[in-house]
Amino acid sequence: MADPIVSPPTLTGFITWSRAVMGLTSIVIADNDVGYAYAYQVSLDMVPTDFSATLPDIYTLTVYNMAGSNLLQWQQDYPGQTFFVDARAAYGINNFVAGVINAASDTTTSEALSVGKGLQNLDLISLQAIKNPYGRQAVAFMQSLGTLWGLS
């Protein structure tokens, strides 16, 4: 069976991926919308190329997932459409979160979670990205590489 992921990543590949994985239709965003190009290019700039030769499929998926996250954060809806506004509201993308909550309590109960080092050390871009499933997947792929991309 042929590899369904074409490496290296391309803008056309990202558009195809967004249609198949994110479910974006041409009614929501046209293939030639500049939002695709912006989201894709910033993703290329952010995702380290260190693993593009050794794990080309994972690299491509990381670029596409990060670009999908960027698209959800930045893309404006066409007149009469509310897809991106609704997605940002559903994922809480415009809500400020300065970190990961590890404990909560009231007068009678309390809960605490152990927060792993990977979450403790996220930068603001990564904290923003993990608010949606595509950004979470991209950050997960990059964290599996270790500290070369900024985690200490």
Q: Integer distance in angstroms from the first to the last C-alpha of the chain?
A: 39
In a domain, residue 6? The reply is: no
Look up residue 77 and give its DSSP letter.
P
Query: Given pLDDT bands bounded at 50, 70 and 90, which one contains residue 98?
Result: low
Mean pLDDT for the chain overall: 86
- Contact between 74 and 39 (Cβ < 8 Å): yes
Q: Which domain holds residue 76?
A: 11-149
pLDDT at 47: 92
Look-up: residue for tokens 């919308």?
33
In a domain, residue 103? The reply is: yes
For the chain, the domain total comes to 1
In a domain, residue 40? The reply is: yes
pLDDT at 7: 85
Per-residue pLDDT tens over the stretch 7-28: 899 999 999 999 999 999 999 9
Residues 119-148 have a mean pLDDT of 81
Q: How far apart are alpha carbons 52 and 66 in whole angstroms?
A: 15
Residues 71-100 have a mean pLDDT of 90
Look up residue 21 and give its DSSP letter.
I
Which residue from 71, 58, 78 is spatially nearest to 132, judged by alpha carbons?
A: 71
Residues 118-144 have a mean pLDDT of 83
